Amino acid sequence: MHEFIELVFRTDRIRFFVNSKDLKINPEMNLIAKVERGEDIGKVMNCAVSDDELERQYQDGKIEKILRIATHEDEKQFLAVQRKEIEAKKKFVELEAKYAFSMKLLDAIYQLDGNKLTFFFSAEGRIDFREFVRELASEFKTRIELHQTSGREDARRLGGLGICGKPYCCVSFLKKFNQVTIQMAKDQNLLSNLSKVSGPCGRLLCCLHYEENFYQERLDDFPELGKRINYDGKEMFVDKNDYYNNRINLVSEDRERVIISLKEFNQISKK
């Protein structure tokens, strides 16, 4: 079985390639890989991935090869491409001003060999930009792709610091966006203030996904929210579960609050 190299490209596209030349590859290294329309530069995310499905794709000719480790000439070409991208963004804004729709340009990314130019933009709703694409293709004389981004993609592309004080997970290490749901916030007692568990992208924080398995495992040990018990001669109901400290927060109809241990709650419930 082959070992595959996982690369991330500047467009945030992640793909696997085979190291057919047995190149000595390290993490974070820049490699030149064969892509659909020529050659592009990507950064190594994983040096050695073995997977039956990837092997089948390779046998079917669906996985391309690593061509070489990026050379000094490749790095010079990369710098030249970045200078071209600055001019491309200026021209994009000039051309877009002639059209009725409104879009905010976020970035322009050339493929290393110049065979493709991708513009990333945000806009309200869907836009019919077919005529605009044709004009861009005529102007730049290359294949044009327009990619309308989501709030999460915008956050990844622009970067920043999260409420934890660290760079966004999607910028620093998160390869793919996980599905984060309201149910996760409910499981973790965070429904009371959704603004505090929403990121700058306007979506629920990705980190809610990280601890969900822990909360799912503990749910069976704790009572459902709203369950009523008789405590110290007064009817009270479960207002909050403290999964880390094994405690139950109870509240009565007149808003009196009591915190008891999970063990004590179970003993009361059995009476």
Q: What are the tens digits of pLDDT across the range 10-32?
A: 988 889 999 888 889 998 999 99
Q: Which CATH class is domain 76-149?
A: alpha beta
Pairing of strands 143-148, 234-242: unpaired
Among 67, 71, 2, which residue's Cα sits nearest to residue 33? 67
Dihedral-angle region of residue 43 (phi above 0 means left; psi in -120 to 50 means alpha; beta otherwise) = beta
Please state whether the predicted TM-score (pTM) of the whole model is above 0.75.
no
Among 48, 43, 39, 37, which residue's Cα sits nearest to residue 14? 43
pLDDT digits (tens, 9 = 90+) for 97-141: 888 888 889 899 999 999 999 999 988 777 788 899 999 999 999
For residues 65 and 34, the answer to whether their CB atoms sit within 8 Å is yes
What's the pLDDT score for residue 226? Answer: 85
Structural tokens at position 132: 């605009």
pLDDT digits (tens, 9 = 90+) for 46-84: 888 888 888 888 888 889 999 999 999 999 999 999 999
Pairing of strands 116-122, 143-148: parallel
Spatial distance between the Cα atoms of 262 and 271, rounded to a whole number of angstroms:
15
